[in-house]
Amino acid sequence: MPHKANAARRHHIPRPKRRVLNWAEYDASLRQRGSLTVWVSDEAIAYWKAAPRTTPGGQPSYSDLAIMTGLMLRAVFRLALRQTEGLIASVLQLLGLELPVPDHSTLARRARTMTLPEAPRSSGGPIHLLVDSTGLKLCGPGEWLIEKHGTKKRRPWKKLHVGIDAQSGRIVAATLTDRAVDDAAQVGPLLDQIAGPVAALTGDGAYDCNGVYAAVRERHAEAAVVVPPRADAVLSDTAATAPTQRDHHIHAIAETGRIAWQKTSGYNQRAKVEGQIGPWKQVLGPALRFHTDQAQAAEIAIGGAVLNRMLDLGRPNSVRLT
């Protein structure tokens, strides 16, 4: 632990204990996530073959929905492309369907050109958007090789930026950038993926910059921005006559303290986006599997669709005990 000499003076927040009230339904939904019928839907089977092409060129054999179904199976069960081809063939055989099976080369090629699944829209009313980012590894030496033989080449990775609907917990926006891209610079692209109105945007201290407030104000003038100012933050030049949202945050923290501000402003809801990043790495894995930018963009879009479908199967209804 850093700064052990000051450990006694630190503010320790005990880990809250919670109880799931609908455990039977939630337990059934967790088992259902492994069911093939969840991922191979009737709609995908009905529109498996591509529609006839009216323009010059080759006729595609598989629709984008069929390719997306195969890539979703690959993501859920963490398969290589050849094993994904075998799984699709066995599923179609068990269902008694005489449909063509896309080979691994077709899956890899179409992943770069397929129409990406649209982000889900809010069920009703303006949404409270929670934003955060995390790193996803690319190909490179594994931890065992690095520990045993060492490596002089830094293992590359990319940064995943996600936006979560605070009410439903669904991923409504996602972008993939180079690791050097600032988190605050992706607020605009994330907001552009949301068709409906946004009531508020909440992020951690990495989003404390004028560009975030400007991006939100440009797209949703009435939306609130809940971002903790840094410890040495100063008021704006117009704080006395026309205070900004950031000025109000600074005043509230100075008067009541940072912990009280987090409760009154709703900043504590940001934990929900961190709670969704954890399942992303647990279910889909901590690394990207495609190597091109276009295919990686499809990979994160499909990853968000997979997690949203799992969430639709059932969510825990928990209450805090302590």
Tell me which amino acid residue 114 is.
M
Q: Which residue pairs, CB below 8 angstroms and at least 24 apart, start in 21-25?
A: 21/317, 21/318, 21/319, 22/314, 22/316, 22/317, 23/316, 25/314
171-178, strands of its sheet edge to edge: 171-178, 157-165, 127-137, 198-202, 224-226
Residue 212 and residue 223 in contact, taking contact as beta carbons nearer than 8 Å: no
The phi, psi pair for 176, rounded to 5°, reads -125, 125
pLDDT in tens, the chain (322 residues): 455 666 666 666 677 788 888 999 999 999 999 988 888 888 889 999 988 877 887 778 899 999 999 999 999 999 999 999 999 999 999 989 899 999 999 999 999 988 877 766 656 679 999 999 999 988 766 666 666 666 655 668 899 999 999 988 899 999 999 988 999 999 999 999 998 899 999 999 999 999 999 999 999 999 999 999 998 888 888 888 999 999 999 999 999 999 999 999 999 999 889 888 988 999 999 999 998 999 999 999 999 999 999 999 998 888 888 6
Q: What is the pTM of this model?
A: 0.86
Cα 283 to Cα 286: distance, rounded to the nearest angstrom:
9
Check residue 284 and give its pLDDT: 92
Check residue 144 and give its pLDDT: 64
Domains of the chain: 23-110 (no CATH), 127-288 (3.30.420.10)
Both tokens assigned to 21 = 């009230």
Q: Are strands 318-320 and 224-226 parallel, antiparallel or unpaired?
A: unpaired
Residue 193 and residue 163 in contact, taking contact as beta carbons nearer than 8 Å: yes
Tell me which amino acid residue 308 is.
N
